[in-house]
Chains A and B, each alone.
Chain A
Amino acid sequence: MALVTATIVFLIAMFLIVYSWPAIAFNGFGILTHLEWNLGNQYANGVVHRGGFTGAPGASFGAVVFIAGTIISSAFAMAIATPLAILVAIAMHYQVPRRLKTPVNTLVELMAGVPSVVYGLWGIGVLVPWISSSVGPFLAAHISWLSIIGGGSASGNGLLATSFILAVMVFPIMAATMRDVLSTFPKIVFEGAIGLGATPWQAVTTMVLPAIRTQMFAAAMLALGRALGETMAVLMVCGSALNQLPQNIFAPINTIAAVIVSQLDSALTDPTGMAERSLAELALILFVITLSVNLIARLIMRGGDRVKRTA
């Protein structure tokens, strides 16, 4: 049984590589440098050969838009969610009265259990209309000189909506992990700082937080891994951009995860099968990115554990 569990990660990597091999050979490094995602002319006669494999004429599978969208939206989301999660973790650990701890913890963890597609539904029903009718016009009226944020919003779908919804989604996981880190941290450090005359807030910010910064960073990295791979909610609010990079925070974007789902139907119409193989290559790229982020987080966590044991 353990063998089954252990091999699944390797199987995922292996089958993604094997299945996307034709696309890797066909696209070469173009997938990392080209903007354009184009299945090519499905109805033209003849096919093109590249790297020993065939694709439809005019086919171009460039993932720059999706990779950039994934990284930018996740970076924005982390910039919103991380400070918030640290504050909430502090509030949960130090401020919530003992009797309320269990209900508050349950609520925050329940928030982490809300399905992605329900966050997406909330995005479509509340967030996107709010951005297009209030946030966009407000910023356009007051900060129009800065085109990145004052450009106005047409539909509300796009970078801002995606980042905001990602922030809302990853923040509970981050806050819960950070609260766990806080609660396992020796109380003596906090009490020692109080004894030296620090206010409780000074004790937390100058003694406790610096001491646990590596674990906090690891918690943020784990959440980043989630944000990078988040699919359904992003798909529903990102605006599904193709072939263009975002020019302002309201511009439609696309992420690797979202495009894998949204392009499935069209990819299946490619008679050469190259579009489907290229989606597998996208899945492989996403797998490698999230795997690296997660491994870094785990290694940091482990390092932190070792420090704590020897101290």
Chain B
Amino acid sequence: MNEVTMSGSSVETAAARSMTRGSVLVTIRRNIGWGISALALCSALAILLAIFWFVLSRGLPALKPTLFTTVTSGISGGLENAILGTLMLVVFAVIIVSIIGFGTGIWLSSYASEKPRALVRLLTDVLAGVPSVVVGYFGYILLVKIAGWQFSLAGGAIALTIIMLPYVVRGTDLALEAVPRELREGGFALGATYTTVLMTVSWPYALPSVLTMLLLATGIALGETAPLIYTAGWSNYLPTAHLTHSPVPYLTYVIWTFISQPFAESHALAYAAAALLMLMIVVTNVFARSWLENLARKQRGEH
């Protein structure tokens, strides 16, 4: 720096200029990776918001109160049958998956020995990777054809159960594994049996996380189409109370089929169904993540 000062002011400014340019280049080179990754994140979020905006901006104006009180007819009508059908299928599936999923998760975390536990965990993971359309075809073969139920509420609900099952099993398993040892040992010290500790100490502690997973799985079930096409069928009428031999309408079917009709009113119905579905899924997801996770944190004594 001293040499530069001695050899004249013009050189000094040139050197200073080149140094600034150099450091700008260095700064750019050091941070270009971070710039690109930030850009990737922003564009990902932008695509998400674009999809939300697209569905809501076209669907919300089409959501009229009459949609909730009329059934679909041909290319137009309302969504009452589809909404009811979706709710019946999902509620039914949630009931079945709670019994099987909680049972399996409790067994995995609390009763299973090493080898069977590893095997069942692997099979659960594998089941999560089975494409939903394959689950649908399986339901079609076993329930619709072999059991002879035809397109039905029970068939669709069982297909949805298979989709939801891996999430609920893993959720229950992990939540129970995460129960602090000291808490359970406190129960044992008071003379409680293994099962009593599980039911009165571990289970209540794990419940918020378990319910979070169950709700997230419910969100997935709400949006499923492929497993239902082959098992629940479709109907323009209100779903009946029959478990079998009576096809059930559902919202995702409306989106898929009505958008490919060449009529504006059927498109409006498809967008309305999509907006309704997205609202249901967003509410389920946000509720699961915020409220229940807060509950879990409070329980652990964090604030």
From A118, A120, A225, give the contact of B129 (CB < 8 A). Answer: A225
From B58, B141, B162, B281, give the contact of A113 (CB < 8 A). Answer: B281
Interface hits, B99-127 → A, CB 8 Å: 99-104, 107-108, 112, 116, 119-120, 122-127
Any B CB within 8 A of the CB of A87: yes
B123 close to A5 (CB less than 8 A): yes
A15 close to B131 (CB less than 8 A): no
Any A CB within 8 A of the CB of B47: yes
A114 close to B223 (CB less than 8 A): yes
Any A CB within 8 A of the CB of B177: no
Report the nearest B residue to A96, measured CB to CB. B41
Any B CB within 8 A of the CB of A290: yes
B138 close to A2 (CB less than 8 A): no
A95 close to B120 (CB less than 8 A): no
B33 close to A231 (CB less than 8 A): no
Q: A117-B252, A231-B226, A294-B126 are in contact. Are A283 and B137 (CB under 8 A)?
A: yes
B107 close to A286 (CB less than 8 A): no
Contacts of A28 in B (CB 8 A): none
Any A CB within 8 A of the CB of B135: yes
Any B CB within 8 A of the CB of A291: yes
Report how far A188 CA is from B40 CA in the complex, Å.
26
Binds A, one of B184-192, B203-211, B282-290: B282-290
From B45, B100, B126, B286, give the contact of A298 (CB < 8 A). Answer: B126
B134 close to A84 (CB less than 8 A): no
Nearest Cβ on chain A to B278's Cβ, whole angstroms? 6
B37 close to A8 (CB less than 8 A): no
Nearest Cβ on chain B to A47's Cβ, whole angstroms? 21
From A94, A107, A286, A293, give the contact of B133 (CB < 8 A). Answer: A286
From A19, A88, A113, A236, give the contact of B44 (CB < 8 A). Answer: A88
Any A CB within 8 A of the CB of B274: yes
Q: A106-B286, A110-B48, A171-B44 are in contact. Are A291 and B126 (CB under 8 A)?
A: yes
Contacts of A15 in B (CB 8 A): 138, 141-142, 146
Nearest Cβ on chain A to B186's Cβ, whole angstroms? 28
1/0 per residue, CB under 8 A from B, across A102-127: the answer is 00101111110111111111101110
Nearest Cβ on chain B to A156's Cβ, whole angstroms? 14
A121 close to B47 (CB less than 8 A): no
Report the nearest B residue to A283, measured CB to CB. B137
Interface hits, B175-221 → A, CB 8 Å: 216, 219-220
Nearest Cβ on chain A to B228's Cβ, whole angstroms? 10
B137 close to A115 (CB less than 8 A): no
Any B CB within 8 A of the CB of A90: yes
1/0 per residue, CB under 8 A from A, across B123-159: the answer is 1111101111111011001100110000000000000
Chain B interface size band reads 35 or more
Q: Which of A84, A264, A286, A287 is packed against the most chain B CB atoms within 10 Å?
A: A287
Report how far A65 CA is from B116 CA in the complex, Å.
41
Contacts of B265 in A (CB 8 A): none
Q: A95-B38, A261-B133, A295-B126 are in contact. Are A117 and B255 (CB under 8 A)?
A: yes
A125 close to B37 (CB less than 8 A): no
Q: A4-B100, A5-B169, A290-B131 are in contact. Are A113 and B223 (CB under 8 A)?
A: yes
Report how far A280 CA is from B136 CA in the complex, Å.
11
Any A CB within 8 A of the CB of B34: yes
Report how far A142 CA is from B231 CA in the complex, Å.
48
1/0 per residue, CB under 8 A from A, across B210-251: the answer is 000000100110111110011000000000000000000000
B222 close to A126 (CB less than 8 A): no
Report the nearest A residue to B102, measured CB to CB. A1
Report how far A68 CA is from B129 CA in the complex, Å.
21
B277 close to A115 (CB less than 8 A): yes
Report the nearest A residue to B47, measured CB to CB. A168
Any A CB within 8 A of the CB of B79: no
Report the nearest B residue to A90, measured CB to CB. B37
B226 close to A121 (CB less than 8 A): no
Contacts of A12 in B (CB 8 A): 130, 134-135, 138
Any A CB within 8 A of the CB of B88: no
B225 close to A113 (CB less than 8 A): no
Nearest Cβ on chain B to A271's Cβ, whole angstroms? 16
Report how far A261 CA is from B256 CA in the complex, Å.
12
Interface hits, A244-291 → B, CB 8 Å: 257, 260-261, 264, 279-280, 283, 286-287, 290-291
From B100, B133, B285, give the contact of A1 (CB < 8 A). Answer: B100
Contacts of B282 in A (CB 8 A): 110
Nearest Cβ on chain B to A212's Cβ, whole angstroms? 16
Contacts of B135 in A (CB 8 A): 12
From A1, A9, A116, A264, give the contact of B223 (CB < 8 A). Answer: A116
A–B Cβ pairs within 8 angstroms, 10 of them: A12-B130, A106-B289, A109-B289, A113-B216, A115-B281, A121-B274, A124-B259, A225-B129, A231-B131, A264-B229
Residues of chain A touching chain B, judged by Cβ–Cβ distance below 8 Å, are 1-2, 4-6, 8-9, 11-12, 15-16, 19, 84, 87-88, 90-92, 94-96, 104, 106-111, 113-122, 124-126, 168, 171-172, 175, 199-201, 204-205, 222, 225-226, 228-232, 235-236, 257, 260-261, 264, 279-280, 283, 286-287, 290-291, 293-295, 297-298
Residues of chain B touching chain A, judged by Cβ–Cβ distance below 8 Å, are 30-34, 36-38, 40-41, 44-45, 47-48, 50-51, 54-55, 58, 99-104, 107-108, 112, 116, 119-120, 122-127, 129-135, 137-138, 141-142, 145-146, 162, 165, 169, 216, 219-220, 222-226, 229-230, 252, 255-256, 259-260, 270-271, 274, 277-278, 281-282, 285-286, 289
Q: Which 3 A-B pairs have the closest CB atoms?
A: A229-B131, A115-B223, A1-B103
